């Protein structure tokens, strides 16, 4: 004691207390880091899945538009459709007579050379082909269900009537898949199946 004043000695942290504090802080930082990493992973997954769905729907809508402005090319199937479902859809432009073929292609040179299958289309009767589905999206399956099985535009002279009186209807079934964030993780490979039914807009006889 000096005069009337007391000397107060402030006690600091011991080494053990400092180590415990650092350990607790480190555990909290690791926990927050894991939570942040998982949230970022989920956010990226949502973005990738949304893109896959948008690309798949765009591909199916492109197929639907092709069917709407065309007729079924029954001559490609020799007048009678094969057993359903079909893997190749043959169309013909009713105004120009141009013939189109749509099918699932696994040839890299005719897709995007990225190892993915694509929807391939030709509008010049098979001379040149071009991918119809977007890049980065692969198809596991593409099938076409078409009715009627006989040409409703062909008038049979022997019977005095058309081969069929039903308007053509095309049901398209496609299964897409996209690769997620880890290429080696099978659980990160998402599948998206779509189906639509379309009729050609022009039905004149």
Q: Over the stretch 151-161, which tens digit does the pLDDT of each residue have?
A: 888 888 888 88
SS3 120: strand
Confidence band (pLDDT; 50, 70, 90) for 86? very high
Per the CB < 8 A criterion, the answer to whether 168 and 147 are in contact is yes
pLDDT over 90 (residue 171): yes
For residues 133, 66, 87 and 141, what is the CA-based torsion angle, rounded to 10 degrees?
30
Task: Give the pLDDT confidence score for residue 204 in this predicted structure.
Answer: 66
| pLDDT of 145 over the 90 cut | yes
| Average pLDDT for 57-78 | 90
Banded pLDDT at 185 (limits 50, 70, 90): low
């Amino acid at each position: 004691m000096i005069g009337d004043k007391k000397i107060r000695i402030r006690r600091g942290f011991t080494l053990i207390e400092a180590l415990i504090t650092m350990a607790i802080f480190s555990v909290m930082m690791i926990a927050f880091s894991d939570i942040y990493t998982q949230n970022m992973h989920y956010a990226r997954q949502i973005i990738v899945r949304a893109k896959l769905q948008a690309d798949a729907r765009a591909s199916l809508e492109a197929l639907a538009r092709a069917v709407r402005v065309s007729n079924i090319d029954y001559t490609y199937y020799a007048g009678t459709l094969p057993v359903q479902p079909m893997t190749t859809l043959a169309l013909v432009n009713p105004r120009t007579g141009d013939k189109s073929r749509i099918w699932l292609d696994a040839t890299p040179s005719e897709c995007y050379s990225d190892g993915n299958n694509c929807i391939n289309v030709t509008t010049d009767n098979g001379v040149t082909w071009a991918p119809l589905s977007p890049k980065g999206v692969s198809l596991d399956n593409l099938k076409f269900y078409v009715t009627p099985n006989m040409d409703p535009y062909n008038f049979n002279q022997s019977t005095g009537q058309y081969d069929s009186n039903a308007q053509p209807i095309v049901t398209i079934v496609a299964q897409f898949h996209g690769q997620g964030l880890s290429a080696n993780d099978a659980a990160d490979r998402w599948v998206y199946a779509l189906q639509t039914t379309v009729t050609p807009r022009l039905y004149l006889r």
